[in-house]
Structure 1
Amino acid sequence: MAEELENSVREMLKKESWTRAGINDFTKNNLMELAETLEKARAENCEKQIKEICDEQLAHSKDSIVALYLSGMIALRSGDVDTSSLVTLIEIFEKNLKDSLVEYLCDSILEEDSQNKFALRKLAEFYKNSNNDKVWELYERIVKADFEEADIAKILAERYESQENKETAISYYKKALLRYVTAKNSNAVKEVWSKLVKLIPEDLDFFLRVERKVTKSINGYKAASLMQEVYQYYKDIAKWDTAISILKIILEHDPKDTWARKEITECYSAKYADHTHLEDYIRLSNLNQAYRDVFEAINDFEKHIAFDAKNFIFHRTWGVGKIMKVEGDMLTINFGKKTGVRQMNLEMAVKALQPLDRGHIWVLKATKKKEELVKLVKNDIEGTLKTIIRSFNNNCDDKRIKAELVPSILTQGEWTSWHTKAVKILESNPVFDVNPNDINFYTVRDHEISKAERLANEFKAEKNFFAKVDIITRYINLDDFDPTEEQFADMFSYFAGYVKAFSNITEQVTASFLIIQDITKKVPAIESPIKFSFADLYSEISSRRGMYAKLKDSKNTNLRQQFLSNVRQLEDWDKQYTHLFPVVLKKSLLDEMINAGKKDRVIHMVQNCFNEYRNYRDAAIYLYDQCRDTEWFKEAAVSEEKQLVTMVNIISLCYREINNHVNTVDNKKTIKNATTLLFADKVNGDVENRMLEFMLSKDRDTITRMYTMINDVRDLDSTFKSQLRNGILAAYPDFKFQETETKQEAPKGTLVTAKMLEIKRALAEDIEKVQLPKIAKEVGDAKEKGDLKENAEYISAREAQSRMNSKLAKLKEELARATVFDPTTVTTSFVSFGTTVTLFNNIEGKEEVLTILGPWESNSEEGIISYLSPLGDSLLNLKAGDEKTFTINDHHYDYTVKAIAAAKF
């Protein structure tokens, strides 16, 4: 079929009607015919051959329409950057006034590549010339596809403004402005800037961002000129602090700007109009004198102007104070009851005092009652956060916030719940932002900021590479994500830097490759800076398993999956999947290989993981846990006994490494996973001991062999060994363990039950905190009654005090030696602590039931004896059926052990 199609194309190329000579008779139906041919080529997988035939034709003649169309469309579909054949074809149609063919061909191109700039512009031009309203949709697509297009963005902005769609108009004006700045089109920048100042003068952060961009791209003088318009708005509405801050920016560009210097003097005069020494401080600082450095003058003026009657200040030793009056250069300050009223000259005040705003948290704490502050802080978390953050130059972290509230206003417990709510507000409320220089510090904005702006600032502030990956991922997933924003360009450039220049393949380079690859797929208009393939990158990675492990994912990122998806495209992907599996540990990798007919490789890998478990311990555990019931795992023919033995060997290996201080954390995790699978696996809500089930399904030799192996793992939790012993004895009561298994290990201290330990502790606490203080009071009262030698009450109280101290000392000594017995370790294979033994008294011919516990629990009336007592000690380690005769204090005993059970605690 492919050969027929190739011959068909060759025939078409020979026909004159398909060339420029027959263009007048060429119709849309002809193009549709060619489109059908293209689909057949795709279906028969012979596009490459068809393109070669067409390219050969074009090498001899540029006139073939069929050759131009088929070659160009195949190149477009394959992602080839050279689609000049289609450009040539559209030019032919245009020259021959074939508008319908231009439209059809542009639509066809855009079906394959929705971001194709050439087709978008040609189609938009066609719609514009024909007064078709579809042109507006095309304009929007062009602005999204071409990040340098500013004129069309401005046209769209003007259209939306005329339709009173202010929000969308502003969005397009912003795009146009930023693009004009990049293009260094000063006149256009001025025009759009002025428009935006009229529309959104309050969006100061945006204008400041553009001002920095203008300074960098054009020059500082242009930036200063633009900021004058923004300044005028804030001056007109009397927002003096903002107006002054803008003037400072203008003066930074040109410190000798006489207009700006005059304006800043006027702003200060308006802001401090009620200050008693305003004119004096303007004169003393030479603020309005051109001969003095403007910033020195500003600094001098601001230091002095802060000290006026009724203003608050802070002194390192005396705390918060209020200026009561200013007479000449002398300030009278009230620091409250503790410090009182102090006087200080202005020169000293400038050096020693910190001016405080009336809304400063320190002022509020000094002037309001605690009950009022507690109520305010608890009821208005957002307001409290704003107050504290603004109190410290609008730059504050969690540690500072806590220091201002705990313990002066909130207790530690109250802070915990308050802080949880505060964090949610700081993360979600659009008036809060992070400091672009430090991710741990918060600031308060005068107006709400967008999620995009917040993320952009977080990105600048974040120092951790993979946290930055998370941020850019969240950014591109925003509903209103705009790849043309300068903020996004800065983020993208950060990762582009890693792939443009590197000496070796690090996790940062690999992650940057993956994130750029993902972004350029989602936004084809973004040109990728990557000049190499994943195969090239992968071949240079020294440790591929290590690389996978180093890629850190958050809940928003999937770098590891992207890495695997790229590996899947490699020619030897199945080999690489097998290599990576021990760190990936995903059954989906194995399933994919099985489905692709690579079962033999998977089976070999399974066998290798169990044979070489020292190197693949986690992989062996995963396979046993997740895959042992699959058909392909069973085909690997790893016996159940070998699987279990491997698990035990892994546990033993991990314990040895822990004892040698090797990978302690990882080894503990591996031990927990393996022991849970073997001895405490949860299945449908029930706990199963898989090792015991297997052992009991085998003969005694297997049981002995498996138990001995497990028992030899010295550090293994004795609970698991006890469970195995009890299970084996339940099935085989006469089963003989090694001698070491027939005796209970001697405890390091006195064995006690948890309940009795609490009783003793409570008794010791009662003696120490209640009884002894009471007796001490009695001693003191008796002492006041006269001669101590003849004072019976005093002597009696002292004797009681001595007895109680001795009792407490003994009790504390016993508590120090106490070792709590774990009831789950009870073994019924022999008489031991925690067992109830049924004995037959061969002398008296009757049964006796005794429970073996510790000396604290002993109660002869209830048949509870201590394992340390002569009788208890004589019974320890006896098994069911054993007979023993012994003598204690001339009393003869002759017992036969009838049964042993776990005691009820």
Structure 2
Amino acid sequence: MSEELENSVREMLKEETWTRAGISNFTKNNLMELAELLEKAHNQNCEYEIKDICDQQLAHTKDSIVALYISGMVSLHSGSIDTSALVTLTEIFEKNHKEALVEYLCQTILDEDSQNKFALRKLAEYYKETNDDKVWELYEKIVKLDFEEADIAKILAERYESQGNMEAAVSYYKKALLRYVAAKNLGAMKEMWSKLVNLIPEEIDFFMLVQRKIAKTISEDKSALLMQELYSYYKNTAKWDTAIGILKLILEIDNKDAWARKEIIECFRGKYSDRVHLDEYIVSSNLNQSYRNVFEAISDFEKHIAFDAKNYVFHRTWGVGIITKVEGDMLTINFGKKNGVHPMSLKMAVNALQPLSRDHIWVLKATKKREDLAKKVKQEIAWTLKTIIKSFDNNCDEKRIKAELVPAILTPGEWTSWHSKAQKILSSDPLFGVNPNDINLYTVRDHEISREERLANEFKAEKQFFSRIDIMMRYLNEIEDPSDEQFTDMFSYFTGYLKAFSNVNEQIVASFLVVQEIIKRVPSLESPAKFTFAELYSDIDNPREMYTLLKDSKNTSLKAAFIANVRLLSDWDDQYINLFPTVLDKKLLSELIAAGKNEKVIRLVQTSFADYRNYRNAAVYFFAECRNEPWFKEAGIADDKQLVTLVNIISLCFREVNNHVNTVENKKTIKAAVSLLFANKTENGVKNTMLDFMLSSDKTTITHMYTMVNDVRELDSVYKAQLRNGILGQYPDFKFQEAEIKQDAPKGLLVTAKMLEIKRALAEDLEKVQLPKVAEEVSDARAKGDLKENAEYTSAKEAQHRLTVQLTKLKEELSRAVVFDPTTVTTSTVSFGTAVTLDNHISGKEEILTILGPWESNADQGIISYLSPLGNNLLNLKAGEHAEFTINDHKYDYTVKAITAARM
């Protein structure tokens, strides 16, 4: 700090003009002069030295304007939450009626911190006093930043309502209501409830949410009284189901409520006004008698009314039926032509039958023509979803939806495309939601709900921790103003993990990272954590394991956030080295190299190849991604050492798979290492790295490397054959052991790529063309009458059976089909894909046979299957070998003259 600047500050502090005694002469220019001084201090990087001088002054003179301004602004600039100096300065200006200075100071504070609640509120007070319209913009900012602010939310709501902007008005009335509930302000809560009942009575889900909060935080009785007001709307509009639901809720709170009991009878009379036996059922259920338990009476009444005439029912054996007559306690039910008419007592009906609404999916399937219903289902997907979901108490999962449609209405093929469209509707249509208690169950709503409410419901219904994080981040990404109570409830769920815990687990770490990200995006929120990431990290027993336990989705990046925090640790380089074998991200290596940590990276490379058992994935990653890096070359890992390490890793992983150790992870490692060695994809095509190395080496190295690969028994024989063929191409006289050249038995049905396509096309034709066509013929023939004398029907059924058997067999073969790679043909022995020239010693003639699969076999063209008795006897013979054998009493005597690759 320059001596001139320090003296300037000390001089200002001494002068009377800059003290409270001279406040009458203090102007905006004086504050601007102080701001210029702070700018100089900032440029000279001595703000804190000046602040120390001012703090010393304040210890003796608490009302020094210069000291208060400089100390307060430096604290604000540093991000400190202590703004007491600026608060005191503002109070001095207010007491001395310097409103213009208050405004200027608040604006200055907001220029530095746009979300400073003190400055926003103080400036809003000033604009309110001066009738400045700028106050409304400040009010909106305050409501967004302060989740407890209810009064200003109410003021904004009233303003928007007076302007006719009802959407904004409702939004702010909702905020005010929920905040008054949280504050337990009963009078204001009742006022806001009544206002919203008047404006949006149809939003039953919102009112039910508020009712639950009131019942939980204030009292159930208070929530019941509020619900009475909402009930009046549904009764007056004859929305009986919702009205009855509200009354049942009130009765659950107080089953002795005489008013609710009387009202529910009136609602039943309204809902079932067309039922002949309505009064009789009300009397018989004792619904109007206070001595009877109200819920037992309601249940009794609903059972009886459900079995009134013209209602539909379902029986496990007879299916859907319609009640045609009710006489006393006897019902007459028509179950259709197949199952006939059945009389049944009411008591038996209650136990044996399930009442169905007229629009229940089972009723529709029983009363509508299949083709008509199928057409409607395909064209009106939203209607179909609503119908099925409502059919099952407005709670239905996708498994049930499919069961109702396939195969009764849709074919499996039609379901696939239908289901894809249905999922989009279920996730986007505001009339669909999820059950708050089960994320897998869908519900249908009577009115649209906001995206905020939908996501909040999903959050509540979701029980999986990491899935809840995904929903929270979707909320942040999709909602423009995440300042409502649903958002704060979600945020509180994660902060709850940080308030008290005994052991650090993945939920604690994930919560810390989530809260950290949310606070970045919504700075008005605060974390309850009294610890830093460094302190949290020090308590993690195994950071590698912790990294794997953090689950990411398309909306979350917990792993990246974890690594970003690790980068801020004092020993970040050692932690990066420790984490890399699990993280396997080149960015970690790049940062280490950029920071001059080359030696640590080189040592990690050397360790990975030396201790491949514990660093297997790191070794595979280095081989795949880093071989051309200068620091990798400095590690001095020879090419043969790299290849041998990968083969050893493959062998090790196969052994662990056989012992059921980390099966999934080991299979991934095997796949990656095998691909790098034998099928490495490059810009110039697929490269066999192992073969290239072997062919550039001497025969001793070839023998060693090939033997090592061949000893991995579980390795696909295709890769071994590639090596053999490559070696023989360069060294035709190379000698392999007998066991090495014998072709392994294929695990599936070997086929050529061309024939596979032909068979697939045939299967598709059978399933989608021929079988539907013959099914239609069966249906048409059946419609002609007596099936015993119906030749067309018999013929069509036989054709249908024949095609079904053919398709079943073909699908089974397709499931086992393994496409043969022509590049793996080995001509050292008779095998799949070879043409063998034979001397037939019995006929004295030469024969040429091609060995392929059963799909390709054609005796007229000399193509035989490797699975046929003849093909099986020829397999693995070498040129010059003689073979005699008998098949079905027919003798064969051959000498192999030559073996060549077949044309495929």
What band does the TM-score fall into relative to the shorter chain? Answer: 0.7 to 0.9
Q: 1:681 to 1:380 in 2, by over 3 A?
A: same
Q: 1:162 to 1:5 in 2, by over 3 A?
A: same
* 1:431-487 residue CA offsets vs partner (Å, 9 max, x unmatched): 1111111111111100112222121111111121111110111112223343232x2
What residue number does 2:644 align with?
A: 645
What residue number does 1:661 align with?
A: 660
2:409 match: secondary structure: coil
The answer to which of 153-162 and 85-94 deviates more is 85-94
Q: 1:603 to 1:92 in 2, by over 3 A?
A: farther
In 1, Cα distance between the equivalents of 2:440 and 2:861?
67
The answer to which of 428-437 and 33-42 deviates more is 33-42
Contact 2:646–2:673 (8 Å) recurs in 1? yes
Tell me by how many angstroms 1:335 deviates.
Answer: 2.3
In 1, Cα distance between the equivalents of 2:493 and 2:220?
25
In 2, Cα distance between the equivalents of 1:174 and 1:894?
93
Unaligned runs of 5+ in 1: 763-817, 841-847
Contact 1:309–1:326 (8 Å) recurs in 2? yes
Contact 1:834–1:851 (8 Å) recurs in 2? no
Contact 1:849–1:863 (8 Å) recurs in 2? no
What residue number does 1:605 align with?
A: 604
* 1:483-517 residue CA offsets vs partner (Å, 9 max, x unmatched): 232x2232222222222222211111111111111
Unaligned runs of 5+ in 2: 761-816, 840-845, 886-892
User: Could you tell me which amino acid in structure 2 is paired with residue 723 of structure 1?
Assistant: Q
Contact 2:605–2:622 (8 Å) recurs in 1? yes
What residue number does 1:286 align with?
A: 286
In 2, Cα distance between the equivalents of 1:90 and 1:749?
84
In 2, Cα distance between the equivalents of 1:752 and 1:293?
73
What residue number does 1:75 align with?
A: 75
| 2:449 paired with 1:469 | no
- Report the TM-score when normalising by structure 1: 0.84
* 1:647-677 residue CA offsets vs partner (Å, 9 max, x unmatched): 2222222222223332222212111111211
Tell me by how many angstroms 1:904 deviates.
Answer: 2.3
Tell me by how many angstroms 1:567 deviates.
Answer: 1.0
The answer to which of 150-159 and 331-340 deviates more is 331-340
In 2, Cα distance between the equivalents of 1:446 and 1:887?
83
What residue number does 2:318 align with?
A: 318
What residue number does 2:178 align with?
A: 178
Tell me by how many angstroms 1:729 deviates.
Answer: 3.6
User: Could you tell me which amino acid in structure 1 is paired with residue 124 of structure 2?
Assistant: A
Tell me by how many angstroms 1:884 deviates.
Answer: 9.6
State how 1:440-451 maps to structure 2 within 5 Å.
Answer: 440-451=440-451
What residue number does 2:205 align with?
A: 205
User: Could you tell me which amino acid in structure 2 is paired with residue 625 of structure 1?
Assistant: A
In 1, Cα distance between the equivalents of 2:562 and 2:488?
24
In 2, Cα distance between the equivalents of 1:744 and 1:265?
87
Contact 2:397–2:442 (8 Å) recurs in 1? yes
In 2, Cα distance between the equivalents of 1:268 and 1:887?
93
Tell me by how many angstroms 1:204 deviates.
Answer: 1.1
What residue number does 1:518 align with?
A: 517
| Aligned length, in residue pairs | 834
In 2, Cα distance between the equivalents of 1:825 and 1:201?
74
1:396 match: secondary structure: coil
The answer to which of 497-506 and 441-450 deviates more is 497-506
| 2:268 paired with 1:268 | yes
* 1:356-404 residue CA offsets vs partner (Å, 9 max, x unmatched): 2111122222222222222222222211211111111111112222222
User: Could you tell me which amino acid in structure 2 is paired with residue 161 of structure 1?
Assistant: E
The answer to which of 215-224 and 690-699 deviates more is 690-699
* 1:620-644 residue CA offsets vs partner (Å, 9 max, x unmatched): 2112212222233333333333322
* 1:402-453 residue CA offsets vs partner (Å, 9 max, x unmatched): 2222333233333333222222222221111111111111111001122221
What residue number does 1:744 align with?
A: 742
User: Could you tell me which amino acid in structure 2 is paired with residue 406 of structure 1?
Assistant: V
What residue number does 1:489 align with?
A: 488
| 2:564 paired with 1:571 | no
In 2, Cα distance between the equivalents of 1:885 and 1:207?
91
Q: 1:567 to 1:54 in 2, by over 3 A?
A: farther
Tell me by how many angstroms 1:321 deviates.
Answer: 2.1
Tell me by how many angstroms 1:194 deviates.
Answer: 1.4
Q: 1:159 to 1:266 in 2, by over 3 A?
A: same
User: Could you tell me which amino acid in structure 1 is paired with residue 595 of structure 2?
Assistant: A
Tell me by how many angstroms 1:823 deviates.
Answer: 4.3
Q: 1:69 to 1:707 in 2, by over 3 A?
A: farther
In 1, Cα distance between the equivalents of 2:500 and 2:240?
48
State how 1:11-160 maps to structure 2 within 5 Å.
Answer: 12-42=12-42, 45-160=45-160
Contact 1:2–1:41 (8 Å) recurs in 2? no
Instruction: Provide the identity percentage.
Output: 66
In 1, Cα distance between the equivalents of 2:832 and 2:901?
9
Q: 1:283 to 1:860 in 2, by over 3 A?
A: closer
In 2, Cα distance between the equivalents of 1:121 and 1:549?
46
User: Could you tell me which amino acid in structure 2 is paired with residue 156 of structure 1?
Assistant: L
Tell me by how many angstroms 1:81 deviates.
Answer: 2.6
Tell me by how many angstroms 1:195 deviates.
Answer: 1.3
State how 1:417-566 maps to structure 2 within 5 Å.
Answer: 417-485=417-485, 487-566=486-565
In 1, Cα distance between the equivalents of 2:364 and 2:551?
45
User: Could you tell me which amino acid in structure 1 is paired with residue 604 of structure 2?
Assistant: M
In 1, Cα distance between the equivalents of 2:564 and 2:851?
62
The answer to which of 555-564 and 712-721 deviates more is 712-721
In 1, Cα distance between the equivalents of 2:294 and 2:858?
91
In 1, Cα distance between the equivalents of 2:437 and 2:502?
28
- Report the TM-score when normalising by structure 2: 0.84
* 1:588-642 residue CA offsets vs partner (Å, 9 max, x unmatched): 1221222233333223222222222221111121122122222333333333333
In 2, Cα distance between the equivalents of 1:887 and 1:470?
70
In 2, Cα distance between the equivalents of 1:394 and 1:750?
48
What residue number does 2:369 align with?
A: 369
In 1, Cα distance between the equivalents of 2:271 and 2:135?
52
2:224 match: secondary structure: helix
What residue number does 2:810 align with?
A: none
User: Could you tell me which amino acid in structure 1 is paired with residue 630 of structure 2?
Assistant: E
In 1, Cα distance between the equivalents of 2:85 and 2:853?
99
User: Could you tell me which amino acid in structure 2 is paired with residue 520 of structure 1?
Assistant: I
| 2:300 paired with 1:300 | yes
What residue number does 1:257 align with?
A: 257
The answer to which of 16-25 and 419-428 deviates more is 16-25
User: Could you tell me which amino acid in structure 2 is paired with residue 439 of structure 1?
Assistant: I
In 2, Cα distance between the equivalents of 1:328 and 1:749?
71
C-alpha RMSD over aligned residues: 3.8
In 2, Cα distance between the equivalents of 1:371 and 1:399?
23
Q: 1:645 to 1:339 in 2, by over 3 A?
A: closer
